[in-house]
Structure 1
Amino acid sequence: MKNLLNTWQLKNVALQNRIVMAPMTRSRTTQPGDIPNAMMATYYAQRASAGLIISEASQISRQGQGYSFTPGIYSEAQITGWREVTDAVHAAGGKMFIQLWHVGRMSHSVFHDGALPVAPSALNPEAQVWIVNEQGVGAMVDCPIPRVLTHTEIKAIIDDYRQAAKNAMTAGFDGVEIHGANGYLIDQFLRTTSNHRADEYGGSTENRLRFLLEISEAIAEEIGTERVGVRLAPFITGRGMNCPEIIPTILQAATQLNDLGVAYLHLAEADWDDAPQVPTEFRTQLRAVFKGSIIVAGGYDANKAEAVIEAGFADLVAFGRPFVANPDFPARLAHQLPLADLEPSQLFGGDEKGYIDYPTVNLKQDGAIA
């Protein structure tokens, strides 16, 4: 672990190691209001030994929601709830960014008082979202065809991102990550398969990038570029995202985000068993145009993580599910201890079970298991 366990300077945020806790939806907020709570504070504080925690995706507005019980960062109650979380993480020695989220067409009318979700274009999302019904039972439900965002509404959403970033600072976060990946609203603007607009937000690469860049600029102006990261997904093809122009679009985005001076890019890589490998050529091109920190995530284990850092293609590696079942994941890597398995049925919704009851290994001062 000669790389993962080293410290790293993320602009003005000093990280204790290069291990990142990836953003993972857990749907444990207090209702009504999608409010972060004390249980969430315990969950994140348990995992504060990560160099950086990136929170679960958090909607910037009511319109931005697409799944039941996901947290927001737009109401006073939500800001107060997140403050309890960040205070707990900082008290445990951790650093934490919040992931800012608008799902766009990855939603359902149940979250919008019967109205349709919004998107750059009225195209079938070919996707499902997790919704809890009146009986308290969660299930995956098909997304409807969305309605097209107006020019005025696009500008309002950019303002919502700016305000959400300001709220995040009030809530005590060390920075924000803009979720531009995995088929959500920003990603929908980036891709020719989901963006058929004929105005300045569609068509050319420059136009399809405009929404992301205007959001990034607004947030950077509000809280400083050194506190901003961006997540992108160049090789994700599901949810109608199989765009033949996405790789040059991502590289152009990286070039412009580098010019803006954001702290990092976070690549969400395909993580299913037979997923395509990320080409070395792409990694080399990305490193050439983006000089900030690069985080990679997607099915990495310790050996693969060490290798991608050693090759110079990444500076930090994010781990998702291993952090769910192993609150002390960095210590387990450091001491080459076995990893506990998670219980998939307890990932979304519920209570403490499968959330804050996973055990940690009791280590003696010499590193041996007590």
Structure 2
Amino acid sequence: MSDAKLFSPAKAGAIELKNRVVMAPLTRNRARAEDDAPHDLHVEYYRQRAGAGLIVTEGSQISPQGKGYAWTPGIYSQAQIEGWRKVTDAVHEQGGKIVIQLWHVGRISHPVLQPGGVDPVAPSAIAANSKTFDGTQFIATPTPRALEAAEIPAIVEDFAKATENARKAGFDGVEIHGANGYLVDQFLRDGANKRDDAYGGTVEKRMRFLKEVLDAVTGAWSADRVGIRLSPFSNANDITDSNPQETFSHAIRLVNTYELAYLHLVEGQTGGPRDIPQGCDLAALYALFDGARMGNNGYDRASAIEAVESGTLDLVAFGRAFIANPDFVERLKRNAPLNEPDRDTFYGGGEKGYTDYPTLAESSLAAQ
């Protein structure tokens, strides 16, 4: 089914895509250690994968405070803008489209990764039973410091500045990282947000930070260049909610009012089972959004084709398959065998396990 709708052109807001296969955001920990800037290795990595209808970059911190792992790239400095500009130019030269994922990790960090060695920040001083990578090993995340209400506008402004920087860097748009237990998700969920001010308590108040971020980002770039990623039923990074269906129904209704380019949902557990909690309904959440719907988590060729043919999804995001297969879309179209990813090289390192996976054509030549 190389003529399947999955391989046909589509639009996500103002972004025109040559196919409906999306490269999901994938943290690979290879930014320059001294300034968290992407460099030539990133240029080649993303260039190789420009066959995707859309590339969503690895999460990129909007500020030094937003950093949660060693060697992740940022989008707040001139060096980072210049590094990303080389990436976007390379992707565009190959006929691809690319958006950057805007990231603030909140409590999923550690003082060794924070400017001045201070505690990470979060809606409330509640530790996550999680770990982060400090450049040497995985270490437990500590109890964060609860943000003062007066501090929140500066973080919101960082989202706006990061969006402006993304435009300067030549991206086709931005994706707000509202998933997987990071800062936006922490404000949304009552397991992490115990505030009793305007940013917490009722489900409506827990939406306030998300609304301010949406206002800031769409104020810096038109909404049809903005997407958002949410993970309604995932407990990644020890995030919980007493009623995720209600919480994310409110969140998606809010998001829908902005007429964004797309809604990107992690279906089930991040990188794990696709199971939905009893009494919850993923289809009902998608139905609340009028723009392009992007699904992610555990899709294979058959399920991706079916999801798009049926109209359930407009776009399907794949993660690990893109790590090991730079020509993944071509392999998918031809139903060709896939390279197996080397898990030992997922996080950190150089070109090994990053830019040295063979294409189908290269594999065929090697076999002759």
Quick check: TM above 0.5? yes
Q: Does the residue aligned with 1:69 lie in a helix, a strand or coil?
A: coil
- Hey, what does 1:39 align to over in structure 2? 41
Give, in angstroms, the shift of residue 313 of structure 1. Answer: 2.1
From 231, 234, 237, the counterpart of 1:236: 234
- Inter-partner Cα distance in structure 1 for 2:199 and 2:349: 40
Secondary structure of the 2:207 match is: helix
Partner of 1:150: 148
- SS at structure 2 position matched to 1:260: coil
1-structure distance, mates of 2:278, 2:164: 37
The residue matched to 2:11 in structure 1 has which SS? strand
Amino acid at match of 1:203: G
Shift of 1:275: 4.6
Residue 63 of structure 1: aligned partner: 65
Aligned residues: 360
- In the alignment, residue 195 of structure 1 is paired with which amino acid? N
Amino acid in the other structure paired with 1:162: A
Residue number in structure 1 paired with 2:266: 268
* Residue aligning to 1:256: 254
Label 1:274 to 1:255 Cα distance change in 2 as closer, same or farther (>3 A): closer
* 8 Å contact kept, 1:193–1:240: no
Counterpart residue identity of residue 131, structure 1: D
What code does the residue aligned with 1:124 have?
A
Match of 1:118 among 101, 110, 121: 121
- 1:246 aligned residue: 244
Give, in whole Å, the separation in 1 of the partners of 2:158 and 2:272: 37
Aligned mates of 1:123, 1:287 — CA distance in 2: 30
Indicate conservation of the 8 Å contact 1:190/1:246, yes or no.
no
- The match for 1:356 is 355
CA contact (8 A) 2:15 2:261 kept: no
TM-score by length of 1: 0.94
Q: Secondary structure at the match of 1:129?
A: strand
Which residue is equivalent to 2:162? 164
Question: 1:127 maps to what in 2?
Answer: 130
- CA positional deviation for 1:254: 1.1
What residue is the counterpart of 1:135 in the other structure? none
The answer (yes or no) to whether the contact 1:283–1:313 under 8 Å persists in 2 is no
Shift of 1:234: 0.7
Deviation at 1:166?
A: 0.3
Deviation at 1:19? 0.1
Which residue number corresponds to residue 25 of structure 1?
A: 27
Whole-Å separation in 1 of the counterparts to 2:276 and 2:204: 27
Give the corresponding residue for 1:366. Answer: none
- The 1-side partners of 2:127 and 2:280 are apart by 33
**Cα contact 2:59–2:101 (8 A) shared by 1:** yes
- TM-score, length-scaled by structure 2: 0.94
For structure 1, list consecutive stretches of 5 or more residues without a partner in the other structure: 133-137, 364-368
**Structure 2: how far apart are the matches of 1:216 and 1:205?**
17
Residue 75 of structure 1 corresponds to which residue in structure 2? 77
- Match of residue 330 from structure 1: 329
Match of 2:206 in 1: 208
Q: Deviations over 1:251-274 (max 9, x none)?
A: 111112111111111011225555
Shift, 1:144, TM fit:
0.4
Rounded to whole Å, the distance in 2 between the matches of 1:238 and 1:28 is 22
Partner of 2:101: 99
Amino acid at match of 1:56: E
Contact 2:5 2:305 in 1 (8 A): yes
Kept after mapping to 2: 8 A contact 1:233/1:267: yes
Gaps of 5+ in 2: none
CA distance in 1, matches of 2:274, 2:63: 33
After superposition, what is the alpha-carbon deviation per residue over 1:242-291, rounded to whole angstroms, capped at 9, x for unaligned?
21222211111111211111111101122555551488972332233210
Contact 1:196–1:202 (8 Å) recurs in 2 = yes
Whole-angstrom distance in 1 between the partners of 2:111 and 2:67: 10
Q: Distance in 2 between matches of 1:121 and 1:46?
A: 41
Is 1:11 matched with 2:9?
no
**Percent sequence identity over aligned pairs:** 47
Following superposition, the deviation at residue 81 of structure 1 comes to 0.3
Query: Which residue number in structure 1 is paired with residue 225 of structure 2?
Result: 227
Measured against aligned partners, the alpha-carbon deviations of 1:46-73 in whole angstroms (never above 9, x if no partner) come to 0000000000000000000000000000
Quick one: which amino acid aligns to residue 338 of structure 2? L
- 2:276 and 2:256 map into 1 onto residues whose CA distance is 25
Measure, in 1, the Cα distance between the counterparts of 2:125 and 2:214. 25
Residues 91 and 152 (structure 1), Cα distance of their counterparts in 2 relative to 1, 3 Å cut: same
- In the alignment, the residues of structure 2 paired with residue 28 and residue 160 of structure 1 have an alpha-carbon distance, to the nearest angstrom, of 23
